[in-house]
Amino acid sequence: MSAAIAPERPHATAEERFEYTLRLADTSLVAGQRLAEWLGHGPALEEDLALGNIALDLIGQARLLLALAGRIEGRGRDEDALAFWRDAGQFRNVSLAEQPNGDFGQTIVRQCLLDAWQLETYASLAGSLEAELADIAKKAVKECRYHWRYSSGWLVRLGDGTEESHRRVGAAVQDLWRFTDELLTPDALDARMTECGIAPPAAAIRERWERRVAGVLAEAKLPQPARSHYPWHGKRGVHTEALGHLLATLQHLPRTYPGVSW
């Protein structure tokens, strides 16, 4: 690993790399768990299958990323230990990912904003100096591409649909927009990871995310809200109350029956 890093680059510590990998892993895990709540409740069989399939991809990405985080940490925690035995304050997902599903339109808006971010982030992470992270990203980006096709397709259909669907997704965009700044504004750890050649430059991700999202909002005939500066800190472990409820479901079984297997 160290041989691949150009001499002028600073080296990230294992702790920094662990924290950064958790941000990506937990965002996929929490978003996947949210989408899985739709199973059996989708508005049509096709949408039920779609949301379940996307959830499966996200949870698969989370498993690869959590396993990597555990190896970086080097304290013997595997993907299950990290997913099931940390409490909300130790989760590092962006706050957008944990927001409740609401109606189908709200889920689509949340997914669309997140897909655009994951797509651009993974596309850039393909060049990361964290070699294993780059490999996971190169696989994940293919999946995120069709997640985005799905969510953006539905956003256009609902935004440019009936008066009722337009009103409802419009309200969801207004409501969820405040969580988008956290995706795009780097904190000290993001900046450090960029400096070390592990994370992509935040400004480039912001520019591509904004272009992508502005394009789909225009096509959906939805107004774009003004830039939000509200500081959410999910990636530092400060979450909205929604995460605790989600984790209660996610972690219930292994915590009630530790070590249980099929």
Partner 1 sequence: MSAPAAAAAALRERRVWRTLESVPDPEIPVVNVVELGIVRHVRTAGDGRIHVGLTPTYSGCPATEVIEQAVRTALDHAGLDDVALETVLWPAWSSEWLSESGRRKLEAFGVAIEPRAGAAPACPRCASRNVERIGEFGSTPCKAHYRCRTCLEPFDTFKCI
Gap between the Cα atoms of 127 and 24, Å rounded: 16
Strand partners, 233: 238
Smallest CA-to-CA distance from 95 within 20, 205, 192, 177 is with 177
Pick the closer one to partner 1 by CB: 140 or 202: 140
**Min separation Cβ 59 and partner 1, Å:** 5
User: Residue 103 gets which letter from DSSP?
Assistant: S
CA 104, CA 47: separation in Å to the nearest integer? Answer: 9
Q: Are 20 and 189 in contact (CB under 8 A)?
A: yes
Tokens of 185: 């504004």
The distance of closest approach from Cβ of residue 132 to partner 1 in the complex, given in angstroms and rounded to an integer, is 8
Closer residue to partner 1 in complex, CB, 84/166: 84
> CB-wise, 86 or 145, nearer to partner 1?
145
Nearer to partner 1, 112 or 184 (CB): 112
Q: Which of residues 88-147 bind partner 1 (CB under 8 A)?
A: 132, 134-136, 138-140, 142-143, 145-146
Tell me which stretch binds partner 1 (CB under 8 A): 59-67, 71-79, 91-99, 182-190. Answer: 59-67
Q: Which is nearer to partner 1, 134 or 171 (CB)?
A: 134
Binds partner 1 by CB under 8 A, chosen from 1, 49, 204, 253 = 49
Nearest to 81 by CA among 247, 259, 244: 259
Rounded CA separation 72/112 (Å):
31
Residue 226 to residue 71: CA distance in whole angstroms: 41
With respect to partner 1, which residue has the nearer C-beta, 148 or 177?
A: 148
DSSP state of 89: G
Asked if 110 and 43 count as a contact pair (C-beta separation under 8 A), the reply is no
Residue 157 interacting with partner 1 (CB under 8 A): no
Per-residue binding letters, 25-44, with partner 1 (x by CB under 8 A): -------x------------
Measured at the CA of 72, the angle between CA 71 and CA 78, to 5 degrees, comes to 35
What's the min distance (Å) between Cβ of 261 and partner 1? 13
For 149-167, give the secondary structure using H, E and C. HHHHHHHHHHHCCCHHHHH
Position 46 contacts partner 1 (CB under 8 A): yes
Give the residue, chosen from 33, 61, 106, 121, that forms a contact with partner 1 under the rule CB under 8 A.
61
**3 state DSSP class of 233:** strand
CB-CB contact of 96 with 183 (8 Å) = yes
Supply the minimum distance, in Å, between the C-beta of residue 201 and partner 1. Answer: 23
Q: Of 12, 25, 58, 109, which lies in the binding site for partner 1, with binding defined by CB under 8 A? A: 58
Kindly list the residues in this chain that would bind partner 1 in the complex (CB under 8 A). 32, 46-47, 49-50, 52-61, 63-64, 132, 134-136, 138-140, 142-143, 145-146, 149-150
